[in-house]
Amino acid sequence: MKQALPILTWLLWLVLAGPTYLQSNWEVALVLFAAWMLVPEGLVLLGLRVSPLYWASVVLLSVAYALNDSTFDWRAVPALPYVGLALWLTVREAARLLEIPKIQLTDIVRVAALAYWATGAVFAFCFLAGLQPLGFDAVIVSLTAAHFHVAGFVLAVVAYCMLKVRPGRFTSVAGWAVLAGMPSVAMGIVLTKLGYSPTFEWVSALFFAVFAALIVEWHLLQSVDRRFPMTARRFWLAGALCLLGGVSLATLYALRFHFPMAWINIPNMKIWHGTLNTLGFAWLTLRGWRFFI
């Protein structure tokens, strides 16, 4: 029952939010799913304790998102503990790197995972507070919060686990890619927003898609390796297939400047791409790793 409580709470939030709100704000549901289901799994895999303070901060974050009829200034206040906790853990673990005689790639990826989570938390706060960095639309700010929770935090946690279990050239490439992927995509989007050519955006997005394909390949290969538990391998297989679908949609979206398709738009992407990556790849893959580690 203790393990089922977070998902039940998230489902209750969906019911209270209602279909009308969710239809236009599905990325909000994905952020909350990440906070309730993905971040706790990831923190444990990173060797961190999920304290009662964390659960209290997620409850308050959910309350903040539920206040959709309130002014933006007021509804952002309950999200502050979630943001503060994410920032504190990131700074604390980054500072501990100074105590390590020889810093390994796994140590850097571990801190990067926390930094991506903290970034996602900050963008969630910005959305709730009505802040629009660089003039981005509110929906883009909200989607950024979701992306940093999943494409940032979860992928970094997965790369960290891969490096711990099978250190080598392949997993090292994945580790360096996770460090470069999200910053390069974010920079591409910002440059496009500032009026520069969208070339860097779609090139960086395709680079990130290649990196995600490496994650898919690795987990597909391990899903038939009998040295891993059967349950973990089944979760990895299902998660890899979901990520493959999500990456395919992301690639089509990145190429929209050259090969526009009416169906590939933000409303459809946040429902199909977002759900495949969050409830599919992220949750299933992290569950698989919890059965193994």
- Please write the tens of the pLDDT for every residue from 50-73: 999 999 999 999 999 988 765 556
Range from 155-169, 196-210, 236-250 carrying the lowest mean pLDDT? 196-210
What does the buried/exposed string (b/e) look like for 263-287 if buried means 16 or more CB atoms within 10 Å of the residue's CB? ebeeeebbebbbbbbbbbbbbbbbb
Q: What burial letters (b/e) apply to 145-165, b meaning 16+ CB within 10 Å?
A: bbbbbbbbbbbbbbbbbbbbe
Structure tokens at 130: 């009505």
Distance CA 177, CA 156 (A): 9
List Cβ<8 Å contacts ≥24 apart for 256-263: 257/198, 257/202, 258/202
* pTM for this entry: 0.90
Is the pLDDT at 289 greater than 80? The verdict is yes
- Counting DSSP H helices and E strands in the chain, the numbers are 15, 0
Q: What is the CA radius of gyration of the chain?
A: 18
Distance of CA 141 to the CA centre of its chain: 14
φ, ψ for residue 128, nearest 5 deg: -65, -35
Query: If you average pLDDT over residues 179-197, what whole number do you get?
Result: 69
Q: Is the separation of the CB atoms in 46 and 114 below 8 Å?
A: yes
Q: How confident is the model at residue 196 (pLDDT cuts 50, 70, 90)?
A: low
Tokens 């969630």 belong to residue: 124
Calpha distance 251→103 (Å, rounded):
34
DSSP string of 40-88, one letter each residue: HHHHHHTT----HHHHHHHHHHHHHHH-TTS-HHHHTGGGHHHHHHHHH
Local structure of 2: helix, strand or coil:
coil
pLDDT computed for residue 110 by the predictor: 96
pLDDT of residue 202: 59
Mean per-residue pLDDT for 248-263? 67
Helix, strand, coil fractions of the chain, as percent rounded to 5: 80, 0, 20
